[in-house]
Structure formats: structure tokens, C-alpha cells
């Protein structure tokens, strides 16, 4: 089986092993089954009771997809959304107690009310009983400062867990807005950060920068570029991935108060060549990535597989979509749900951009393909 050794971080040796047809060891296959079609650049996916789905479209629409694949009309009640470029309506998750409160959370590009500009914002809402509108909509976080940009919004939401149980807070990834990348190293703004807030938008007292002069209290970690994937392992460990510049996409495990280096250190380079920042890959006081890709795969979406629907060898694997190369990446770890990356496998190599991946209540994987005629796919064991 051929293998390729990628450029090495000094703290780890990582082999990417691909077998024939893009698969490595344990060559289980999957059979994509179209659940719904005709979605315009779908971005985020959440699961509703009775086999329904909640799907965002980047253009600024939120839809319920029925269990039979019927795509509903856009839901009424969304706030103003600045849709353009990379911005629009992005991620969505349902509350742990959705069956009782019908509450969910979503993030989007929020236009300024005056003076121009936009930023990533997160809101909560209640889905009406007839699945046609949003009620009780409230923005619970708004990235500061607003800035005129159509790039690097980040915008993945997860519910944080402690000792394996939800702790009542939300973690949200925020991009550096591209031309404001130097802000990622400063604590007086939300660019290039992970933030943590309560479900009502309040700041948890145990956030790492609470009470620190000149630092925004919502910040959880900093020194990030553009994170479009996030997941929580069963043990509560928080995982993210982010787009590098040219090369250097990363997987990180953001810890409270830690600095992840962008744009001072990176395994990538400027578009067209040339060093970024100090031209270093590691530096004291800055956390190295768990894993990086060179060349970039343009990752989006992230999920752990906890079920055994695809066999025991897949249980505990990490799944990440590739926008650039159009495949779903199955990532084997040295231990289930933890450890280092030991092997990667390409699935669904059909050229479709994979925007999101989630494990459904049935234990199967679901993906969204990013195109003007995007699809919601269910992955059946092959």
C-alpha cells in the first residue's frame, strides 16, 4: 500500500496512507442515498423528531426537510442576513432539550444597523409547532467589531460538554475576516477566536479571560484563521479544524485561554508564495496543531462516529468534508475519539464539495453537498 509522508511538525510524525481507489485499511465502503435535492448551497444540518431535518442555505433561507425528502418552503422569521461571498446563513444546532422546548441555535453574517460592515452573530429561536416559522428570535452573540468583508466568517456551533454531559454553554467559531488577520492575536476583538457563552448569551464565570483588563470575556481561545468544522468527543474534548492560507489547514483541540498561532505561525504560505507572519511553524507559547494538511483540502463540517453502523473499525473515527477536492475524509485516530491522526481515507470521491457532515439519530452519517443544486445525502453501509 503506497504511503505519502507530509511535511512534519517537530512534535509528531504523521503518515497519510491511501489504498487503491482512495481507501486505506478496513476498506468498508458507503453508498450515498439522496434524501433531498435542489437545496441552494446548503451549509448546516440539524435533526428534528420524526425523521425530519433542519437545513440552512447560505443565501439566507432555513428549511425543514421531511422524512420523505420533501423540501419545505423557507421558514419565516429569520433576522436580517448579509448574504454574499462566503457570508450568509451558516450553522444550526438543536438544543439538547429540543423535544421539550423546540429551541435551536443558528449563526449567520449579521449586517451592521448603521455605518456598514458585518460580522458573525449567533441567535436562538423556537420552531413553531407547525414547522413554518421561527418564534422568540433573539441574537445572543454578535462578533465585534463589525467590518466590511465577504470572507472568513467561521460559524460552527457546538454545545459544550463537561464530564460527558452538556454544561449549558455554546462554543462558536469565528473567522479572522481575512484582511483583519492580525486581530487574531489580540484579545480586544472577536476576530479569529472561539467564544463561549451561555444559551442566553451571558458570559460564563469560568471563561479564561473574565476579569482580564483589555480582553473580551466571551473569548475561549485565539490565534485562529477560519474554522468551519467543530465537534465534541464523547469525553467532552472540543475539536475544530480551520482553513490555512495556501497549505496548512489544521485540526486543533482548543483549550481555554490558549493561543493557536495564526498568523504568527502556520504550515501554509501566502497565496502565490512567500512566508506568513514570522515564517515559522512552531513558537513557544503557541499551540501546535494536532494535524495539518498540505496541500490544503479546504475542510468543512466535522463529526465523530459513535455508532457501529459501518463496523467496529469505523467507530471512534473523525469525519471531515473537503470542499477543494470533493470528498469525505474518514480519519483514523490512534485511539477511538482521541490521540493522533494515523491514517486517512477518501470517501465519496465524486467531485461534489462536502459542506457538512453529521451523525444522525439512526447512527448513520449524513452530508450536505455545496452547490446551487446541493443535496442532502444519507450514507448507507456499502
Band (27; pLDDT cuts 50, 70, 90): low
Query: Is the N-terminal amide bond of 274 cis, ω within 30° of 0?
Result: no
Residue of 152, 191, 224, 243 with catalytic role: 152
Catalytic, 152? Answer yes
Q: Which three cell numbers stand for residue 286?
A: 503557541
Position 9 pLDDT exceeds 50: no
Dihedral sign for Cα atoms in the order 248, 348, 159, 118: positive
Across the range 99-120, mean pLDDT stands at 96
End-to-end CA distance of the chain: 22
Residues in contact with 68: Cβ distance below 8 Å, sequence separation at least 6, in sequence order: none
Percentage of the chain beyond pLDDT 70 is 93
Task: Give the chain's domain count.
Answer: 1
What residue has cell string 454578535?
Answer: 142
Tell me which residue range forms the domain holding 365: 3-381
What does the pLDDT look like over 254-287, one tens digit per residue? 999 999 999 999 999 999 899 999 999 999 999 9
Going from the C-alpha of 346 to that of each of 54, 229, 251, 317, 373, the distances in angstroms are 27, 18, 17, 13, 23
> What is the full DSSP assignment across 157-182?
EEEEEETTEEEEEEEEEE--TTTTGG
Contact 85, 151 (CB under 8 A): yes
Would you call 352 helix, strand, or coil by DSSP?
coil
Task: Report the CATH number that the domain containing residue 289 is assigned in CATH.
Answer: 2.120.10.30
Report how far Cα 11 is from the mean position of its chain's Cα atoms.
Answer: 25
Amino acid at each position: 500500500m503506497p504511503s505519502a509522508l507530509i511535511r512534519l511538525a517537530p512534535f509528531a510524525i504523521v503518515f497519510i496512507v491511501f489504498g487503491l481507489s482512495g481507501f486505506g485499511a478496513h476498506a468498508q465502503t458507503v453508498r450515498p442515498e439522496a434524501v433531498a435535492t435542489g437545496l441552494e448551497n446548503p451549509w448546516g444540518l440539524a435533526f428534528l423528531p420524526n425523521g425530519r431535518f433542519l437545513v440552512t442555505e447560505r443565501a439566507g433561507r432555513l428549511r425543514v426537510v421531511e422524512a420523505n425528502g420533501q423540501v419545505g418552503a423557507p421558514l419565516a422569521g429569520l433576522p436580517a442576513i448579509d448574504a454574499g461571498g462566503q457570508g450568509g446563513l451558516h450553522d444550526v444546532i438543536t438544543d439538547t432539550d429540543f423535544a421539550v422546548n423546540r429551541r435551536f441555535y443558528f449563526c449567520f453574517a449579521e449586517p451592521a444597523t448603521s455605518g456598514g460592515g458585518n460580522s458573525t452573530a449567533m441567535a436562538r429561536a423556537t420552531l413553531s409547532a407547525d414547522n413554518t416559522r421561527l418564534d422568540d428570535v433573539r441574537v445572543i452573540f454578535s462578533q465585534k467589531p463589525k467590518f466590511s468583508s465577504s470572507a472568513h466568517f467561521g460559524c460552527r456551533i457546538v454545545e459544550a460538554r463537561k464530564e460527558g454531559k452538556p454544561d449549558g454553554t455554546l462554543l462558536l467559531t469565528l473567522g479572522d475576516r481575512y484582511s483583519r488577520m492580525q486581530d487574531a492575536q489580540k484579545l480586544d476583538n472577536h476576530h479569529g477566536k472561539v467564544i463561549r457563552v451561555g444559551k442566553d448569551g451571558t458570559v460564563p464565570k469560568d471563561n479564561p479571560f473574565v476579569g482580564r483588563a483589555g480582553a473580551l470575556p466571551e473569548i475561549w481561545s485565539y490565534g485562529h484563521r477560519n474554522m468551519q468544522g467543530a465537534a465534541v468527543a464523547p469525553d467532552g474534548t472540543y475539536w475544530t479544524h480551520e482553513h490555512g492560507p495556501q497549505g496548512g489547514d489544521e485540526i486543533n483541540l482548543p483549550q481555554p485561554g490558549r493561543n493557536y498561532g495564526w498568523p504568527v505561525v502556520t504550515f501554509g504560505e501566502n497565496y502565490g508564495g512567500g512566508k506568513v507572519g514570522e515564517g515559522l511553524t512552531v513558537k513557544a507559547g503557541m499551540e501546535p496543531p494536532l494535524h495539518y494538511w498540505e496541500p490544503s483540502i479546504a475542510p468543512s463540517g466535522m463529526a465523530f462516529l459513535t455508532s457501529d453502523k459501518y463496523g467496529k473499525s469505523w467507530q471512534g473515527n473523525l469525519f471531515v468534508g473537503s470542499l477543494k477536492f470533493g470528498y469525505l475524509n474518514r480519519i483514523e485516530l490512534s485511539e477511538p475519539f482521541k490521540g493522533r491522526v494515523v491514517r486517512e481515507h477518501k470517501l465519496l470521491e465524486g467531485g461534489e464539495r462536502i459542506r457538512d457532515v453529521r451523525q444522525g439519530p439512526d447512527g448513520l452519517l449524513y452530508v450536505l453537498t455545496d452547490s446551487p443544486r446541493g443535496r442532502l445525502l444519507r450514507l448507507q453501509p456499502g
